[in-house]
Amino acid sequence: MDVASWSPAAASVNQRQQPQIKQQVAATISVAAGQSHPLTTASSSVVKPESLKAKTRPNELNDGAPKKQKHSNCKHFRCLKLYCECFASGMYCDECNCVNCYKNVEYEAVRRDSVGATLKSNLNAFRPKINSSSHGAKDNKEAGEVLMLGKHSKGCHCKRSGCLRKYCECFQANILCSESCKCMGCKKFKGSEERQALFHGDYANNMAYIQQAANATTTGAIGSSGYASAPVSKKRKSQELLLGSTAKDPSVHSLGHLQQFLVLVLQ
DNA sequence: GAGTTTGAAACT
DNA sequence: CAGTTTCAAACTC
């Protein structure tokens, strides 16, 4: 397969059209990889593509702020790895702050080689990580949240953030963690009504609460008992930890607040 | 703005 | 495939 045949030549013609090109490129890459592409379906307008895996700025969270083109800050000659957001989204760097960026027309051959190498090691490298569900987005606008019903193709592997921070790709994509995730101490899973409940009511307070929960997780509230292997059972276990027998956890104080809050919300 | 933390990507 | 390292973004102070 001529994986390197993905040519952002079109993009190079007019890099200023990149926001539009982004999705097309993502789709093209997958087609080049011989795979169907979820973005070719109606879901493309619903679920953020890889390009919008949204390393959004903090103040962009759920606020509907316009999505500006990202400006990566790669160093170490690494603009040709998936570490680089622009590379991952199939774009040239444009007004980025990268050091020694090879991702431009001048180094097209090098860049193409890198694309090929990346695809060689991972055919899905440029596929959107978020697969949409057939139900589209669950519009929860009253609470200021549009919850995507997509699913992370690989799942996240968060350990300390509780999947409540932007380190978490699921969180970034505004989707719930699924059985694909191998996260620990997850607080963003299906069935976790409390997580969604957090979005009802005062947004700032809820975000503060999420922050608190995340902090609790970070500071050890996950605890030894919070780690489990099977994702599904893990989710249940996490729920149990939140709503049930967390008493054995010495750092239960923060979770205790969360528990009280959740109980109130759920009533 | 500097330093730390985090988790994905890359590497071994 | 699992463990480790590298990397850049998120986050804290």
pLDDT in tens, A107-137: 888 888 888 888 888 888 887 777 766 455 5
**DSSP assignment of chain A:** --GGG--THHHHH-GGGHHHHHHHHHHHHHHHTT---GGGSGGGGTS--GGGS----GGGTTT----PPP-----TT-TTSTTSHHHHTT----S---SS---SGGGHHHHHHHHHHHHHH-TTTTS-SEEPPTT-EEEEGGGTEEEE--EESS----SSSTT-STTSHHHHTTB-B-TT---SS--SBTT-HHHHHTTSS-HHHHHHHHHHHHHHIIIIITTGGG--SSHHHHHHHHHHHHHS--TT-TTHHHHHHHHHHHHHHH-
CA atom of A53 to C1′ atom of B2, Å: 27
The per-residue pLDDT for A6 is 42
Nucleotides of B under 7 A from a protein CB: 5-11
The per-residue pLDDT for A190 is 65
pLDDT in tens, A54-94: 333 333 333 333 344 567 888 887 788 999 988 888 888 77
- Strand B proximal to A145 Cβ, under 7 A: no
- Strand B proximal to A120 Cβ, under 7 A: no
- Strand B proximal to A81 Cβ, under 7 A: yes
Nucleotides of C under 7 A from a protein CB: 6-12
- Strand B proximal to A218 Cβ, under 7 A: yes
Q: Is the dihedral of CA A10, A13, A18, A20 positive or negative?
A: negative
List chain A domain ranges: 69-127
The per-residue pLDDT for A89 is 83
Low-confidence stretches of chain A (pLDDT beneath 70) = 1-70, 132-149, 190-267
The per-residue pLDDT for A58 is 36
The per-residue pLDDT for A209 is 58
